[in-house]
Amino acid sequence: MRNFNISPDLTPLYRSAIGFDRLAQLAEHAAASNTNSGYPPYNIELLGENRYRITMAVAGFAMSELDIMSEGDNLLVKGNKSPNSDERKYLHQGIAERGFERTFQLADHVRVIGAELEHGLLNIDLVREIPEAMKPRKIDITTTNTLS
């Protein structure tokens, strides 16, 4: 099977979509991004109306070898495997011991509220908190009395 790396030109979308430039940039970034190899595997769960969880399979990584960084609308998860001090002779090595770097694009008003490592799974909890000013609100309609 052949993979053709064709990067779409989304310039016409920029000209006709007013206010959707961030959406077009996300689509362009997703089309051009070939760096994520699928390692480590992960799930994204919807836990509630505004709660999410990313679960990554990081078997073999200690807590000290994992870093999570949230900056703006990007969430970066890194795993740096420390060099093995003991010389092991593997007959078969199926557990990956390579470092990784995975970036997640967060939607507006989504922030990380916690992370835990349990049984080789890294759980990252997120919440979407919409500011009060952006929530829908009812506008009262008043009348003016124009009779003199």
pLDDT > 60? residue 24: no
**Domains of the chain with bracketed CATH:** 10-39 (no CATH), 40-84+92-133 (2.60.40.790)
- Most confident of the ranges 11-15, 39-43, 81-85, 134-138: 39-43
Q: What per-residue confidence (pLDDT) applies to 85?
A: 57
Q: What are the helix (H) ranges across the chain?
A: 11-16, 21-32
Is residue 99 over pLDDT 70? yes
| 114 CB-near residues (< 8 Å, 6+ apart) | 124, 125
Which 3 state secondary structure label does DSSP give 54? strand
Burial 87-108 (b: 16+ CB within 10 A, else e): eeeeeeeeebeeebebebebee
Q: What is the pLDDT of residues 29-79, one digit of tens each?
A: 665 555 556 889 999 999 998 899 999 999 889 999 999 999 988 999 999
Q: What is the pLDDT of residue 65?
A: 93
Q: What is the mean pLDDT of the chain?
A: 80
**Which structure tokens are listed for 43?**
């799930």
CA angle 112, 134, 70 (to 5 degrees): 20
Please name the residue ranges forming H helices in 2-146. Answer: 11-16, 21-32
pLDDT at 122 (0 to 100): 97
Contacts of 137 (CB under 8 A, 6+ apart): none
Contact status, residue 41 vs residue 56, Cβ threshold 8 Å: yes
Highest-pLDDT range among 18-22, 33-37, 60-64, 134-138: 60-64
* Mean pLDDT calculated for residue range 11-28: 56
Give percent of the chain with pLDDT exceeding 90: 35
Number of other CB atoms surrounding residue 144 within 10 Å: 4
Give residue 132's pLDDT: 82
Provide the pLDDT for residue 64. Answer: 92
**Averaged pLDDT for residues 83-87:** 66
